[in-house]
């Protein structure tokens, strides 16, 4: 059984501040160790659930947060900041299950470090009319390839948002948000034990899990400024539906996802200067 694991970072137990997940300072180094432990817990659980091959796609910030030699299960590792499929790089139809590890709540949600791809650009994202964060958007790629998303770990908001779009997904809630920069986290050892147990159950049941049924109504975005909306509308598959409103839609879920990622990349410079 082949398993794909996309790891973010803000959903890690004990991580509550950007200093813990961005840069190369001592707090960031400690945050990466917490993340590594949770990723390895998910790998160990997946192996116990029947996985025979695991591919880890580092999906946070510069996307080189994990020491390859320290990954459990001799998992292969996709890293680096430019990837055509971004947080889902490497996924294709040969996989049997997708795991989302250390995911966080969507922009605007009452969750720690909440954002959706670019917090300077995206104010809200709605998939098929349902408010979503990065898990729902990334699940479009799984929908295209027909691979079930069976696990999400992170804060309660991330897990609930994912379950709203992917009924039956197994969730490991490792912290309760207090504010955007505070949370009540499980002890790291308990968080890893919960992730390990939940991942094992999720992978054991993967054969019976359906792929996500997403993207039929497209991905709607509210963005921060009219300049961002204008530039994003230059991307194929992105339609401007209001002064700061956009709709991403393609012939299939993957096309929708690609249009969204292109709009995010194209508008990054504008979003950071206005």
Q: Decide the pairing of beta strands 245-248 and 149-155.
A: unpaired
Q: What are phi and psi of 268, to 5 degrees?
A: -60, -45
List 60, 82, 104, 115, catalytic entry: 115
CA distance 144 to 181: 35
Among residues 179, 203, 201, 151, which one has the least CA distance to residue 38? Answer: 151
> Is 115 among the residues known to form the active site?
yes
Q: What is the DSSP string of 54-114?
A: EEEEE-STTS--S-GGG-GGG-EEE--S--TTGGGTT--TT-SEEEEEEE-PPTTSSSTT-
CA distance 130 to 213: 13
Report the helix count and the strand count for the chain, using DSSP H and E. Answer: 6, 12
Tell me the catalytic residues.
115
């Amino acid at each position: 059984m082949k398993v794909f694991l996309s790891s973010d970072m803000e959903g890690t137990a004990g991580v509550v501040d950007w200093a813990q997940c961005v840069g190369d300072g001592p707090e960031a180094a400690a945050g990466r160790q917490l993340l590594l432990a949770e990723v390895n817990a998910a790998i160990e659980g997946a192996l116990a659930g029947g996985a025979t091959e695991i591919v880890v796609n580092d999906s946070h910030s510069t996307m080189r947060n994990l020491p390859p030699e320290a990954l459990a299960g001799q998992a292969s590792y996709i890293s680096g900041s430019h990837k055509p499929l971004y947080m889902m790089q490497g996924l294709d139809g040969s996989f049997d299950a997708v795991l989302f590890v250390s995911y966080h709540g969507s922009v605007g949600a009452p969750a720690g470090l909440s954002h959706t791809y670019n917090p300077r650009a995206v104010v809200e994202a709605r998939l098929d009319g349902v408010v979503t964060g990065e898990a729902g958007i990334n699940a479009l790629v799984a929908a295209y390839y027909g691979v079930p998303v069976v696990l999400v770990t992170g804060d309660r908001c991330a897990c609930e948002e994912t379950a709203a779009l992917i009924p039956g997904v197994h969730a490991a809630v490792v912290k309760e948000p207090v504010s955007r920069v505070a949370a009540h986290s499980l002890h790291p050892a308990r968080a890893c034990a919960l992730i390990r147990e939940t991942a094992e159950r999720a992978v054991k049941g993967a054969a019976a899990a359906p792929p996500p049924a997403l993207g039929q109504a497209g991905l709607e975005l509210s963005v921060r400024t009219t300049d961002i909306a204008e530039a994003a509308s230059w991307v194929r598959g992105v339609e401007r539906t209001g002064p700061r409103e956009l709709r991403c839609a393609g012939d299939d879920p993957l096309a929708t996802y690609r249009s969204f990622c292109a709009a995010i990349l194209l508008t990054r410079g504008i979003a950071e200067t206005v």
